[in-house]
Structure 1
Amino acid sequence: MLQRSGRSSNVSTALRLLGANVELFGVLTRNPTYRMILDDLEQRGIDISHCTFTDASPPFSTIVQDRWTRRCTVVYCDKSFPYVTAADFRKLDLDQYGWVNFEARSPRETCDMIRLILDHNNGRDERDRIVVSLQIFNSFEQVVHLIAMCDYVFVTKYIAESRGWKSPLEACEGVNALLRMPRNIRIRRPCIIVPWSSLGAGCMTTEGEYFEVPAHKPKKIIDRVGDSDCFTAGFIYAAFVRQRRLAEAVDFANAVASYKLGYVGFDCLGHLPIDAVKLPVRMRCGSEVSSDDEDNGDQLNSCKKHLLRPIEFLPEKSSIAPTEKEVPIETSQLSS
């Protein structure tokens, strides 16, 4: 079975199936051999109008699954492929977006893109600001400087264990410890989300309050490919579209990922009984981050000098986590 993939591509697909309006922003190939990628995106109603195109062929993976054990063997074709740039991102009308999720495959370009959003958000009311989330899948050291620029950060179990963190709590506390700033720098911390496979997920609010959310046990496991992307999409959908609080959004994300495990591909999400797997929707006004949010605009202004400081990135190198490899798409955006 030939299937379009890529983390941001998968997240966009899952979001669209859940009912959200979504745009994929990245580099796509015009090579006719891979025309099915464009056809599938268009058929699903995923906006690709701002993607850039190349004649290069994208990397791909071959996944062999044992029929009885369901264990997968993944063969990677890890070839170089261009990334979107901040210059491309600058052409977007940011007033059209409410949430931007970054994959951060190119830390330097991602840093510049996030800074464009911070500049756009500066001085705006909370309701008019773009929410920024960051997925950390491979090299933690290369993107650690981006964490403080975001509203939400997803840290995988693989990354956590590579840092010596043995639980979601240790991972949340570890990331939080890296965000300690001098007292004269007033900065809002991101919410931290750490999915932990069959144990569920841990999350930490901007104030440092920790929640551990148990997993939803699937009836059966058929296909694990893309379950983490379904988790990310489920969280964004619950937090942004349904305005759920952090722990509730994580619980819904667990439910979406668990539901996907019982089916091949992502189309099953179009039949997910959304209201049956989560509490009644409770709309919340403003942000949940702090009781001090009346001064949030001043906080963002006062920490701008810190966020825009020169950052020296480590040399970029190929670093592949032991998960499925994807077509390298950089960011996905959720329309407001």
Structure 2
Amino acid sequence: MKQIVTFGEIMMRLSPPNHERLTQAPALAVTYGGGDANVAAALVQLGQPAAHAGCFPANPLGHAAAEHFQRYGVDMQHCVFSENGRLGLYFLEVGASLRPSRIVYDRAESSFAHLNPAAFDWAKILDNARWLHWTGITPAISASTAQACGEAIAEARRRGLTVSADVNYRRNLWQYGQRAQDVMPPLVAGCDLVVCTEGDAEDLFGIQPAAGASNSFVSMAEQLIARFPRIKQVIATKRETQSASHERIRGLLYQGGEYYETAPYDIAPVIDRIGGGDSFISGFIYGTTVHPADPARALAFATAASALKHTIAGDINLVSAAEVEHIVAGNTTGRLLR
């Protein structure tokens, strides 16, 4: 089976244990994550071969980050190790009840930000691929990462691969002199599938739901597809956050003039919400692969996968396809399995 290839930055994640605050923690737990790579790792757990392309510092931290994803079965052979830059960090305080989780980033001047686009031979990287996935974080980091992302999409299009993106607009990341509103549209124009909320569509593309629209997501998706005709599917999760420990989510899909919406999953307590969106798109890629003629089933699988991720510590959704299908079938009581 051919691979799903992802491209983006991987960072070290440092978290105080037991819901402690950074100011009181005597120690920090270490793991690694990145939106694009999280998708690749989740897909491998679901039985889909996946590879990740990225850039790391040529030091023990960089190698540790790459080896973390290798341990979960991700093909990391296309990653570049550079003498320039450092490994980006992020610090996560896991909230509880009415205190929200909080992230502090320390990612400036990373090796990924300073990557050389010429170091990535996309013809070779995509030679055994069927799908390319990227997120809006990647072109936000630097001009060189945006260039490399565009080159990857162009090669994927030449090869007839499926291209997906989680547009994931992070305003504070766009610091290198280019506007997201200028950089993102040409990249999104090369996509077949996008994860996009109404808020991201307005911020990035100036798209607002039509006045009086009965369904704001459908109105947004129709306009997005009209603007970028290559897009065939628009998906998103709708979240109703009750507290840091309690989340309710449902999946949304617009495709071919049809709207699909799942029943909500009520998740309490939330163990770790980081990677929930990555789990959603990885679940949808899996569901689309296994059930190509049944978009409702693909969406149901994606939403269940995202719900399960909220119960798992770390960035990666460590669940099998059978475990997700168990939830899709309505087994949500959490009864002991023997």
Q: In 1, distance between residues paired with 2:41 and 2:303?
A: 17
Question: What is the aligned partner in structure 2 of residue 133 from structure 1?
Answer: 164
CA shift, 1:263, in A, is 2.4
Aligned positions of 1:107-146 closer than 5 A? 107-121=146-160, 130-138=161-169, 141=181, 142-146=183-187
Question: What is the aligned partner in structure 2 of residue 233 from structure 1?
Answer: 282
Q: In 2, distance between residues paired with 1:36 and 1:57?
A: 13
Identify the match of residue 264 of structure 2 among 215, 231, 235: 215
CA RMSD of aligned residues (A): 3.0
Unaligned 5+ runs, structure 2: 1-28, 140-145, 172-179, 240-247, 330-338
Does the CA contact (< 8 Å) of 1:238 and 1:244 recur in 2?
no
CA shift, 1:237, in A, is 1.2
Q: Say which SS state the counterpart of residue 200 (structure 1) adopts.
A: strand
CA shift, 1:252, in A, is 0.9
1:181–1:57 distance in 2 versus 1, CA, 3 Å:
closer
Unaligned 5+ runs, structure 1: 122-129, 280-336
Does the CA contact (< 8 Å) of 2:284 and 2:298 recur in 1?
yes
Q: Say which SS state the counterpart of residue 132 (structure 1) adopts.
A: strand
What amino acid maps onto 1:116 in structure 2? Answer: E
CA shift, 1:131, in A, is 1.2
CA shift, 1:112, in A, is 2.9
1:38–1:201 distance in 2 versus 1, CA, 3 Å:
same
Identify the match of residue 251 of structure 1 among 281, 295, 300: 300
Deviation string 1:85-104 (CA, Å, 9 cap, x unpaired) is 37614341534111111224
1:58–1:275 distance in 2 versus 1, CA, 3 Å:
same
Aligned positions of 1:92-241 closer than 5 A? 92=124, 94-104=126-136, 105-106=138-139, 107-121=146-160, 130-138=161-169, 141=181, 142-156=183-197, 159-160=200-201, 162=203, 169-180=215-226, 188-197=230-239, 198-205=248-255, 207-241=256-290
Give the TM-score normalised by the residue count of structure 1.
0.69
Give the TM-score normalised by the residue count of structure 2.
0.69
CA shift, 1:272, in A, is 5.6
Q: In 2, distance between residues paired with 1:145 and 1:175?
A: 17
Does the CA contact (< 8 Å) of 1:168 and 1:202 recur in 2?
no
1:157–1:57 distance in 2 versus 1, CA, 3 Å:
farther
Q: In 2, distance between residues paired with 1:57 and 1:153?
A: 30
Deviation string 1:136-156 (CA, Å, 9 cap, x unpaired) is 011662312333321111114
What amino acid maps onto 2:168 in structure 1? Answer: F
Does the CA contact (< 8 Å) of 2:235 and 2:254 recur in 1?
yes
CA shift, 1:25, in A, is 1.2
Does the CA contact (< 8 Å) of 2:304 and 2:324 recur in 1?
no
Deviation string 1:13-35 (CA, Å, 9 cap, x unpaired) is 21112222110112123221343
CA shift, 1:200, in A, is 1.3
Greater mean deviation of Cα atoms: 32-41 or 130-139: 32-41
CA shift, 1:161, in A, is 6.7
What amino acid maps onto 1:193 in structure 2? Answer: I
Deviation string 1:109-153 (CA, Å, 9 cap, x unpaired) is 3233222222222xxxxxxxx211111011662312333321111
What amino acid maps onto 1:210 in structure 2? Answer: Y
Aligned positions of 1:7-26 closer than 5 A? 7-26=35-54
Q: Say which SS state the counterpart of residue 132 (structure 2) adopts.
A: strand
CA shift, 1:179, in A, is 4.1
Does the CA contact (< 8 Å) of 1:172 and 1:194 recur in 2?
no
Question: What is the aligned partner in structure 2 of residue 31 from structure 1?
Answer: 59
Which structure has more strand as a fraction of its residues? 2
Deviation string 1:307-330 (CA, Å, 9 cap, x unpaired) is xxxxxxxxxxxxxxxxxxxxxxxx
Question: What is the aligned partner in structure 1 of residue 20 from structure 2?
Answer: none
Deviation string 1:179-205 (CA, Å, 9 cap, x unpaired) is 4369xxxx5442111222234132111
Q: In 1, distance between residues paired with 2:164 and 2:262?
A: 20
Does the CA contact (< 8 Å) of 2:56 and 2:82 recur in 1?
yes
Identity %: 22
Q: In 2, distance between residues paired with 1:98 and 1:249?
A: 18
